[in-house]
Amino acid sequence: MTTVVVETRIAAPIELCFDLARDIDMHVKTASFTGERAVGGRTSGLIDLGESVTFEGVHFGIRQRMTSKIVELDRPTRFVDQMVKGAFASFRHLHQFELEDGVVLMRDTLIWRSPLGLLGVVADRLFVERHMRAFILQKQLKLKEFAERQADRG
């Protein structure tokens, strides 16, 4: 299993940050650099407990699809999506939100197991882990920008 943790501090209300993180339309906007789009399940708006979404995007030069289901949700502090279909042997994404000194700490924890046994472990170390960290970091910086701009407007 490989784990990546990315933390981002956001000067916006915790409820706004939480809802933006589970908004399908916001995911598509913040992941536009991969050509990401929602193609199945819930394809727009706020995803909720028990719902699933299928995203399609280009990763490693290959158009891929992943279907994830929301398996835990405790607004506004945490939700978990888990892959039900996709390229990984298993994939779990924990989204956590905490208030620290009036600022939201948004923590994304990705835990996955690549397919193909030892070959998958090598691929994780060589490029998958770096790609996943960069993907989440870029998405979260865009979400932060949007949330802070929206919070400034009142």
DSSP H/E element including 64: strand 62-74
Residue 107's domain spans which residues? 2-153
0.75 surpassed by pTM: yes
Q: How far apart are CA 117 and CA 120, in angstroms?
A: 5
DSSP H/E element including 75: none
Q: How far apart are CA 65 and CA 86, in angstroms?
A: 6
Residue pLDDT, tens place only, 28-87: 999 999 999 999 999 999 999 999 999 999 988 889 999 999 999 999 999 999 999 999
- Supply the CATH number for residue 124's domain: 3.30.530.20
Q: How far apart are CA 154 and CA 151, in angstroms?
A: 5
Which token pair is 51?
């719902």
Specify the number of domains making up the chain.
1
Question: What pLDDT score does 58 carry?
Answer: 93
